[in-house]
Amino acid sequence: MLLGALRAEVAAVCGQLAAAGLVTGTSGNVSARDGDLVAVTPSGLDYAALTPGLVGVHRLDGSPVEAPLQPTSELPLHLSVYAATGAAAIVHTHSPAATAVSALVEEIPAVHYYVALFGGPVAVAPYATYGTDELAASVVAALRGRTGCLMANHGAVTIGPGLATAHSRAASLEWLCDVYLRAASAGTPRLLPPGEIDRVVKKIATYGQQPPP
């Protein structure tokens, strides 16, 4: 099976997203890139039924290589993000807090230093019908200088150098949106200054460890 390990990873991440409540039913989509090929979730298939073999492989121009089902309707978005960024993985969710915030604000302000995980305050891409080139262009613009964005009245997108990072960022973005909703519901949140976020961006760049072999 072409890109078997990558397709298995896409299917596994989808299961983890569903278990965490970041997607429901057939909402959202996931992809990962290997050179000129993209492994991407199919359209309209419940994640409980998704197997590695049902994860399609397409070229960067969208043409199928090994795809038993139609790809996600957001394939134009995935391909546009890959063309515009150095990302190797994309996670798109309809998680509750992120979707709620996407209907309220133009960007997630610096209510917590976790905005540094995404390069700074997280933009909300203007609404456009799902699956359209207009939405793809809107998301690409919102991702400039960032590793995540919201899609107005729709959901969230995170990117990364691999699926583990894109998945982790999706969970962090949902947490950040939940914090913002809680703070805003109680009053006017106190925001961190841009200089502090710049400092945290630099600290995060060297944060993290690996266990010894």
Query: Catalytic site residue 107?
Result: no
At 165 the three-state DSSP class reads helix
User: What CA–CA distance (Å, rounded) separates 140 from 154?
Assistant: 15
- 157 beta partners: 92, 149
Q: What is the DSSP letter of 41?
A: P
User: What CA–CA distance (Å, rounded) separates 32 from 11?
Assistant: 11
User: What CA–CA distance (Å, rounded) separates 75 from 39?
Assistant: 10
Catalytic residue among 74, 134, 174, 196: 74
User: What CA–CA distance (Å, rounded) separates 102 from 124?
Assistant: 6
Q: What is the largest CA-CA distance in the chain?
A: 54
Dihedral, CA of residue 16, residue 21, residue 23 and residue 26, to nearest 10: 90
Active site residues: 74
